[in-house]
A and B are shown apart, each in its own frame.
Chain A
Amino acid sequence: MIVLEGAGRRFTARGVQPVEALRDVTLRVPAGSVFAVVGPNGAGKTTLFALVLGFLKPTTGSVSVGGTGPRRWARTRGAAWLPERFNLPAGWRVRDSLAALARLEGLGPAEAGTAAAAVLDHLELEAHADKPVQTLSRGLLQRVGIAQALLAPRELVVLDEPTQGLDPLWRIRLREIVADLRAQGRTVLLASHELDEVERLADRAAVLRDGRLEEIVELRAGAAEGIVYRLELERPIDLIATAFPGAERVDGGADDGGGASTGRADGAVDGQRPGGAVYRVRVGDAADLTRRLAAVIESGGRIVSVQPGGSGLAARVRGGGAP
């Protein structure tokens, strides 16, 4: 679906040192997959999206979408896009803006009104539909941004920092929206600093740093054998292997399963309480996880946190390599 071959982008301006925002990036995003792009600020995520959507042309290499140029793809097939800092001109009202953008999607006047009403309802924006956009909070504006991206069923969906400004409830709703897009076979490109969200949502993630592609992490590898979580306990317990067969201790503690260690004197990983224990465990589904956690609690274990964390994406983005 999306192919980048040695793609690079250099920005030049008079009197300023040229900036290599993206260098020699080669990657393929299969159709129907959810592909994340992660990395620290300034890594080149937004530039990569700008190349994929045809806003910018690569200064080196090539970019194609569905076998054609990105701009041609957008002109003929359209793409759903949520920008990093979504905004609309001051004075535009939410419903009118959505209806006008729906007309640009090729919908007739009546269909555009219906599409706007549908996304307003889907994103629970009906109460704010007649307000000017500049009166909306950051979270509401982000939901308007998501709404405009969903006006038409586009094959390519690009979401740049979609959780920005969203409250916890809407972060969960966003997961459902992305799951729906996946189920419909859309190709979703996603950038986020919320690595937990990325691990939940994406099939693969490209780690960018200083404009270079460092690695591509398979987030769903071994998904058939279960979902991997990072389980932190207040202190190690003996019965962990009974509750979670195959659990690996990954904090460098006594029963180290071979995982990464931060090398701290207290043996704790970042954010872990001193004396605690961090395990990588595998479960079938959410119900299975709940059952096994109950077993841990019954056997005296005190749970500090449970997070998706099979891939060690956070460590890779921090530059710590694979766990």
Chain B
Amino acid sequence: MRSLRLAAVHVTSMHRRLLALGGLCVVFLLAASAAAVFLKDEHGDVHIDALFLVGGYPAASALLLLGWLLGHLPLVAVLVLLAGVISDDRENGLARLIAVRPVSPIAVYATRFAVLATIAFVVCAVVMPAFDLLMLGTWAGPATLVLILAYVLVYGGLIAFLSAWTRGDAWLALLLAILAIVWAAFDRAATLPLAPGLARLVGFLLPPQPALFELENAFAELQPIPWDAFVYCIGYGGVFLMLAGLSVARREV
């Protein structure tokens, strides 16, 4: 693990991003705590109707937005932590300092990716169940962890690949995520203005939002984990991680 120390130095220099992510998590938990303290019914649930009566439309909307954002916390965490995971080194010259040393750059970046992805996973694995426990008095169990892992692999792999080629990696990944969410919504409503084959191809290339939706439903409705959807997400992320590795190995620095 020769690259671990370099990854550690990299993480310690990311304190601003870590603080920003931590701040967002604190907002989630404070909102959940406030809602739980003031609005819980006799069964321990927070009802949106009660919130509407207390704070009107803005309060209800804010909690709905927070809930939606929380469901996408793994995406946010991955975007914040993995932005520039490879491209920053090309920009500041570190990639060349690594390239002259007798070490595989793939090992260096794989270690860094693993460390950052683990941090993203752990942060989400703490905050999401805590939010559920505060609001609902229960949590979705392993489905939460499976959902987080799927998001981290899908978007982590995508950002790593994009980062091997461009500095706009996280922005592009965010754009693709939004496109995939919109595309999947249209697809479910069967309103895509494309030939079915072409629509399937675009859906195949975009991040696997239908599979992630399945995992989100299992998480939200306490249903059994759809393992086929999880395996698809692993495959999608894995392909992009391999492409990222190939790009790092073959590209000029």
Chain A interface (Cβ within 8 Å of chain B)?
53-57, 71, 74-81, 83, 85-93, 96-97, 99-101, 103-106, 109, 112, 148
Q: Which residues of A contact B247 (CB under 8 A)?
A: none
B100 sits at the interface (CB 8 A)? yes
Decide: B9 and A78 in contact? CB cutoff 8 A: no
Evaluate contact between B15 and A91: CB separation under 8 angstroms: yes
Q: Is the CB of B6 within 8 A of A103?
A: yes
Nearest A residue to B4 via CB reads A103
Query: Chain A residues with Cβ under 8 A from B88's Cβ?
Result: 89
With an 8 Å Cβ cutoff, the count of chain B residues facing the other chain is 29
* A54 engages B99 (CB within 8 Å): yes
| Set A85, A86, A105: member contacting B102, Cβ < 8 A | A105
Interface residues of B in 88-103 (CB under 8 A from A): 88-89, 92-94, 96-103
Residue of A nearest to B101 (CB): A104
Determine whether B253 belongs to the interface, using a CB cutoff of 8 Å to chain A. yes
Return A219 CB to nearest CB of chain B, in Å.
Answer: 26
> Which B-chain residue is minimally distant from A108 (CB atoms)?
B2
Name the prevailing secondary structure of the B interface residues.
Answer: helix
Q: Is the CB of A57 within 8 A of B252?
A: yes
Q: How far is the CA of A93 from the CA of B2 in the complex (A)?
A: 18
A-contact 0/1 string along B3-22, CB 8 Å cutoff: 11110111011110000000
Closest partner residue, chain A, to B13 (CB atom): A91
Sampled A-B contacts (22; CB under 8 Å): A53-B96, A56-B252, A75-B102, A78-B101, A81-B97, A86-B93, A87-B93, A89-B88, A89-B92, A90-B13, A91-B14, A91-B15, A92-B13, A96-B12, A100-B5, A100-B6, A100-B9, A103-B2, A103-B6, A104-B6, A104-B98, A148-B97
Cβ B103 vs Cβ A85 within 8 A: no
- Of A88, A97, A101, the residue contacting B101 (CB under 8 A) is A101
- Chain A residues with CB under 8 A of B3: 103-104
Any chain A CB within 8 A of the CB of B61?
Answer: no
> A81 is contacted by which of B94, B100, B102 (Cβ under 8 Å)?
B100
Which 3 pairs, one residue from A and one from B, show the smallest C-beta to C-beta distance? A91-B13, A78-B102, A100-B6
